[in-house]
Chain A
Amino acid sequence: MDRRVDRGDGGLTRKIRWGWIAAAAPPALFIGYFFAYPLIRILTLGLSELSIGASGLEARLLRVGWFTLWQATVSTILTFLAAAPLTWAVSSYRFPGRRLAMALATVPFVLPTVVVGTAFVALGWTESIAAILAAHVFFNVAVVVRTVSTLWSRIDPRIHEAARVLGASEWVVFRKVTLPLLRPAIAAAASIVFLFTFTSFGVVLILGGFQYATLEVEIYRQAVTLFDLPLAAALAVVQLVGVTGALYWYSRYQERTAVAWTLERGTNLKHPRGRARLAVLAATLGTLVILAVPVSVLVSRSLSGNYYQALFVDDPVVGTPISSIANSLLFAMVATVLATIIGIMAATVITGRSGQLSRWFDLTLMLPLGTSAVTIGFGFIVALDWPVDIRASIWLVPIAHALVAIPFVVRSTVPTLRSVPPETRQAAAILGASPFRVWREIDLPIVSRAALVGAAFAFVISLGEFGATSFIARPSSTTMPTMIFRLLSRPGEVSFGMAMALSVVLAVVTLGVVLAIDRARFGELGSF
């Protein structure tokens, strides 16, 4: 019996615990100081403002909160409706241009929100709810298409055939078999779209005018324009409550449905025949043509004057617009490295231990995604004067970007790590690999493929990040999105033309990066 006591904190157990702490500490410290602590400062400030209860505060919060909620809900529903035809086509059939269609439909999603906003202004759709909803659908269609079709196209076709043989019609099979099987993907896509639109900032700030404001936009206005920090903090509290609720539900749901599906390795799609060919053609072309409209209008209008040349001219107020490219690229690189390293460590911790603790860790890491960039940027200016005032540092920009990107790295790596059966790690251990070696030889190589996708996300997010940057960017650290917004805010045809031109440049740089990463990925991991 003595031995048992001995082993309680001896040998194996202790090693694993130390490893866990070593992996958990850096992400915990980073997120603790740059996210959790500012959040607490916001909460303290916001809750005291709420308890004072200034006149009209409640009505104001309710009005903004309600608008935020319903526009997010409607945007999510509309996005699903808009994405349905293309999702169906690419999930059920193999056809020439299928991959190209998927890639093109993804273009709006990788476009920075400021570019999307500028494109809809170029369409002439300003200050209207329709413009906001349309921009949200435009931006998020790819989330639904990609998330749902990844699962849908890999459902074992024999399940479908079995149901057909048992006497179910195509429609019944879809409703009773396909749809339930797709539930995890649909829930995931819906949560992502909802969170994106609930916390939508750039699009609403540009397209909503003075009439429409989400919580995000209102926080920005109160904090930056009117400098009412307590009211901004109160708004942030309301925002947090909504987002935390949505995330908690999502996390619970994900855990419940974490089943190992019997998926086909590759896609096993048929060629469309007869009427199906026409339907596939209509679904694909129709979606792509509609998505192409805002982009082509933006590009053609940006070329309608000498706007590109004007980007190189030094301006007394905003500086040389084109120099913001260098800032953006530098910050994106730093943010990507930070987010990838911390994201992989966090994913290791989340999957290493089951149970309550890792669920909380998971949820804490997801919070930046939901609380949104605006809260992060706002938190920085509220809180980072302690222990030393670092609010003027230009490095806060990439740090904020990394915070926004970490959940994406985590989300893209956790499923891969979870899919490694415990036997794989045990086999390595029995063959002589220490816990650290197991991580290096098994987890790291497997996760690095998925992390590459996460890193790509991080880079693109950083390039287009606007919400947090708008709070913390200094004249010396102006990024492309903040420059575009400054140009948009100035009256005059030339300024708007320059905003469009810089938007096109930002879009091209972003797409170039995405394309390069995509190409590198295909070379290396064709099977993925």
Chain B
Amino acid sequence: MLEVKALDVVIDAKPILENVDLQVADGEIVAVLGPSGSGKSTLLRAIAGLVEPATGEIEWDGVSIVNVPPHRRNFGLMFQGYALFPHMTVAENVGFGLKMAGNDDTTSQVEEALAAVGLQGFEPRQVDSLSGGEQQRVALARTLAPNPRLVMLDEPLGALDRNLRQQLVTDTRQLLEERDVTALVVTHDREEAVALSNRLALMRGGTIVQTGTLEHLLAEPVDEWVATFIS
């Protein structure tokens, strides 16, 4: 279980996150929903260990991970824009995390991960020859392949066109549930947030304003802004 407690992040003397509290239970998929610039990506980066918190606590199963460097956290993060390794094939990209974990032969696991996202036989392809949708799925396979204890997706469908998004929202949700992963999804799109998650966390101006299911938020919005934003 992930617990973020009273987290503050300051970048270049500007407060980006203020007093953020968030919990993600095992097997739960939480969507952080908010307008752009509200600090969603920074929250993911702080949890991943790429950004250092000013104050506050990030815990996994009750143990602080603030001092653990990113490569030892065993988390997965799918970047906005995917950040695929340009000098590697699809198979090398997907197998990277497995290789870092000490697996010498990753062939069968890579095959499996690619099959899960519907990209059988894509192993030898160069990543720059892929379409946007294919890149998204390679990035997803790369994130999921090493079985991280927490999967974070940063605007997972942000760069894709509308038709493709609807299809991939369903696929992604199914994939996350099949594997029973604990996940944190960041998006500015309400539909996407609802379709991908069990629970929403509304973010605005660097803090989490309210959390709960869509029904709960609709029924009992804490303020005017939540009511308008969510409906």
Q: Please list the residues of chain A having a beta carbon within 8 angstroms of any beta carbon in chain B.
A: 1, 3-4, 6-7, 10-12, 15, 265, 421, 423-424, 426-435, 437-438, 441-442, 445-446
Contacts and interface: CB of A to CB of B under 8 A. Distances in A.
Contact of B97 (A421, A426, A431, A445): A431
A438 B99 CA distance: 12
Contacts of B70: 12, 426, 429-430
Contacts of B52: 7
Contacts of B77: 426-427, 430
Contacts of B146: 431-432
Contacts of A426: 48, 50, 70, 77, 79, 83
A431 B83 contact: no
Shortest beta-carbon contacts, A-B, top 7: A432-B100, A431-B97, A423-B83, A427-B83, A12-B69, A429-B70, A430-B77
A438 B96 CA distance: 11
Contacts of A421: 83
A37 B28 CA distance: 62
A331 B87 CA distance: 33
Nearest to B142: A431
B68 A11 contact: yes
B71 A429 contact: yes
B5 interface: no
13 contacts: A7-B67, A10-B67, A12-B49, A12-B67, A15-B69, A421-B83, A423-B79, A424-B85, A424-B86, A427-B84, A427-B142, A431-B100, A434-B69
A430 B69 contact: no
A405 B53 CA distance: 43
A11 B67 CA distance: 6
A321 B12 CA distance: 64
A437 B99 CA distance: 11
Nearest to B48: A430
A433 B100 contact: yes
A203 B72 CA distance: 58
B24 interface: no
A421 B96 CA distance: 18
A427 B67 contact: no
A432 to B, nearest CB: 3
A432 B74 contact: yes
A15 B67 CA distance: 12
A433 B83 CA distance: 15
Interface residues of B, number: 32
A3 B67 contact: yes
Contacts of A3: 64, 66-67
A15 to B, nearest CB: 7
Contacts of A437: 71, 100
B73 interface: yes
Contact of B73 (A1, A10, A430): A430
Interface in B97-146: 97, 100-101, 128, 142, 146
Nearest to A437: B100
A432 B67 contact: no
Contacts of B66: 3, 7
Nearest to A426: B50
A12 B84 CA distance: 24
Interface string B46-57: 001110100100
Contacts of B39: none
Contact of B87 (A430, A438, A445): A445
Nearest to B145: A431
A433 B92 CA distance: 14
A15 B68 CA distance: 12
Given A430-B77, A431-B96, 12 more contacts: A423-B79, A424-B83, A429-B70, A429-B71, A430-B76, A432-B72, A433-B71, A433-B100, A434-B71, A438-B71, A442-B85, A446-B87
Interface in B25-83: 48-50, 52, 55, 64, 66-77, 79, 81, 83
B51 to A, nearest CB: 10
Nearest to A427: B83
Contacts of B50: 426, 429-430
Nearest to B80: A423
Given A7-B66, A423-B81, A265 B128 contact: yes
Nearest to B69: A12
Nearest to A4: B55
A202 B70 CA distance: 53
A432 B79 CA distance: 15
